[in-house]
Structure 1
Amino acid sequence: MKDIEGFHILWTAPYFEKSKDDTYSMQDYELLTMILSALMWRKMNGPITLYGDARAIDYVEGQGLSHIWNGGIKEIQVPDSISPGVFWAAGKLYALKAAHMPAVMVDLDLIVWKNIGEYIAGTDICAIHREGIYPDVYPGRDFFNMDSSYSFDPLWSWDVPPVNTCMLYMAKEQFKNYYVDSSIQFMENCRETEENLCHMVFAEQRLLAMCAARKGKIIASFFPEAADIERQDVFTHLWGYKNILKFNYGKRVEFNGRLCERIEREFPEEADVIRELHVCR
């Protein structure tokens, strides 16, 4: 079985945009999910790398977790010109810029339980699924607050469905660079000052579809239909469940217990590591 390179991204600037804390921290359920995500990727697919800013790297090193990413830890720097309030996921674009394709970008709250080789074989781009063009999330071009010098490529189609990028495979370095450069140029020329969702998802999810169509690339989906996601056993994604865990202590203890048990059972060498984190009750 051929290794599939994966990578995580931990960019702390959005955290400090909203928090007055001097040091970065994660919720216990976020930390355990990230750990199991990395360990399961290693087990089922191949090496995994962490791309993070300096404070993210300090955090994982301080928690004794650096070894979790057997592909290593690499620092990214997102320019101050990119607002972490508006573009809270910009770290993903800068990690993609630094990463070499073919590789799979995996969100920290996504656990992949199986090998995905059969899904990505022969594809240029493969993502979890496409999304509908809902006007409140994906509005038309006139909505965007852009610098007067910026112009959208007239050959970009506004009719292609956006791409959910919680897990994203790209095969070719050249296309990856085109997409990332287009996204960064959009973010650098954005005059928006407050988060409204639409600017970030355009830069990350809609532009990917537009760039692919512009270059004649076909985007495959791990699960083309929404109903398929409900019936699959390939991955677990926390998505909105994080809000339940944040406010429901009982559910949180139950969830953490399941993850601790899974880590200790499948990766007994990490048992002492997670006990030191004091997140398992």
Structure 2
Amino acid sequence: MQAFVSNWTRPYTARWTGRPYEMADYDLLTTVLSALLWRRENGSIRMITDDIGAQYYRSLGLTELWDGGIFTHLNCIPQTIDPCTFWAAGKLYALASVPAPCVMLDTDFIVWHSLAAHWSKPLAVIHREALHPDIYPDPSAFVLDASYQFPADWNWNAQACNTALTYFGDETLRKTYIRQAMDFMQATRGQDGLIYMVFAEQRLLAMCAESLSVPIYAFSTEQDLFSGKQRDFTHVWGFKQAMQEQPMLREAFCSKCAARIQRDFPAYTKRCAAIPMLQQYF
């Protein structure tokens, strides 16, 4: 199955003006493992980024990591999209360039086994999320252009879809989701980096699917994903803050990733070891 990951660097450059773009060691190692495991277990994968991201990967010698190629479609994200509010907008604009069937995958998400049994479904997400009001507030919380109106057929009680791993088997849904997400982002006048982004990315998908009568399959549950009991998926997202604050934890995680690359993908050992920030782990 064709998968894509994305990296929009404008949120980084907006936050760190004048600083050369770079990724943390744990992010880079997870990116490598995620791509290699997908290729081994599930098929082809491509990277969709911008000029800065593409040049960064070239400078590290990682261009062959994505057998489907590296594309710079994210150069075209409108300047009107605030990168601080919509810091994950890159994955939505990347999805606009990849027709169904396809898998949208975060670079910090690892799939350890084949998912081929699920490719007959019209939509599959890693898990659903309860509508906690501090994260998914009522529509009245959004500050939007006066001309924008939420579709009347949206069900505001539908649980959100976490999109760290999302399979789109239905092309009509993919197009509808992208159109509605882009319309919402363009209409946004508020600047909250949480509620606007998760609405456009996660809650809106669930409501679009329901409005089109597309059933939603969940690969896992939020509880199972972070319980430590399942062995199918690894999502590093919630662990990053801890690694930033605890150097020993960070070193242990990176060493574990490096050991897995050496064991399962020895051809990439030398390539990773040549990257200055990763040398200590190899």
TM tier relative to shorter chain? over 0.9
The separation in 2 between residues aligned to 1:197 and 1:79, in whole angstroms, is 20
2:251 alignment partner in structure 1? 253
Greater shift in the superposed pair: 25-34 or 220-229: 220-229
Per the TM alignment, residue 225 of structure 1 is displaced from its structure 2 partner at its CA by 6.2
The separation in 1 between residues aligned to 2:140 and 2:64, in whole angstroms, is 47
Asked if residue 168 in structure 1 is aligned to residue 162 in structure 2, the reply is no
Asked if residue 184 in structure 1 is aligned to residue 182 in structure 2, the reply is yes
Q: Does the 8 Å contact 1:36/1:111 carry over to 2? A: yes
2:203 alignment partner in structure 1? 206
**Cα 1:280–1:237, aligned 2, differ >3 Å: closer, same or farther?**
farther
Q: For each residue in 1:138-191, what CA deviation from the matched residue of structure 2 results, as whole angstroms up to 9, or x when unmatched?
A: 111111100000000111110111100110000022210110000000000111
The separation in 2 between residues aligned to 1:228 and 1:256, in whole angstroms, is 20
The separation in 1 between residues aligned to 2:261 and 2:270, in whole angstroms, is 11
Identity in percent:
38
**Cα 1:237–1:220, aligned 2, differ >3 Å: closer, same or farther?**
same
* Unaligned ranges ≥5, structure 1: none
Asked if residue 58 in structure 1 is aligned to residue 55 in structure 2, the reply is yes
Per the TM alignment, residue 72 of structure 1 is displaced from its structure 2 partner at its CA by 0.7
Per the TM alignment, residue 121 of structure 1 is displaced from its structure 2 partner at its CA by 3.6
Asked if residue 154 in structure 1 is aligned to residue 152 in structure 2, the reply is yes
Q: Does the 8 Å contact 2:86/2:193 carry over to 1? A: no
Per the TM alignment, residue 227 of structure 1 is displaced from its structure 2 partner at its CA by 3.4
Per the TM alignment, residue 63 of structure 1 is displaced from its structure 2 partner at its CA by 0.8
Per the TM alignment, residue 239 of structure 1 is displaced from its structure 2 partner at its CA by 1.8
**Cα 1:56–1:225, aligned 2, differ >3 Å: closer, same or farther?**
closer
Per the TM alignment, residue 100 of structure 1 is displaced from its structure 2 partner at its CA by 1.7
Match of 2:269 among 265, 268, 271: 271
1:102 alignment partner in structure 2? 101
SS in 1 for 2:220: coil
The separation in 2 between residues aligned to 1:78 and 1:145, in whole angstroms, is 21
Q: For each residue in 1:43-91, what CA deviation from the matched residue of structure 2 results, as whole angstroms up to 9, or x when unmatched?
A: 1110100000111111111111000000111112211011001100000
**Cα 1:123–1:190, aligned 2, differ >3 Å: closer, same or farther?**
same
SS in 1 for 2:31: helix
The separation in 2 between residues aligned to 1:63 and 1:21, in whole angstroms, is 20
SS in 2 for 1:86: coil
* Unaligned ranges ≥5, structure 2: none
Scaled by the length of structure 2, the TM-score of the pair is 0.95
2:133 alignment partner in structure 1? 135
SS in 1 for 2:96: helix
The separation in 2 between residues aligned to 1:165 and 1:16, in whole angstroms, is 24
Q: Does the 8 Å contact 1:223/1:229 carry over to 2? A: no
Residues 2-151 of structure 1 aligned to structure 2 (within 5 Å)? 4-76=1-73, 77-118=76-117, 120-151=118-149
The separation in 2 between residues aligned to 1:220 and 1:280, in whole angstroms, is 41
Give the total of aligned pairs: 276
SS in 1 for 2:199: helix
Per the TM alignment, residue 122 of structure 1 is displaced from its structure 2 partner at its CA by 2.6
Q: Does the 8 Å contact 1:260/1:280 carry over to 2? A: no
Scaled by the length of structure 1, the TM-score of the pair is 0.95
SS in 2 for 1:127: strand
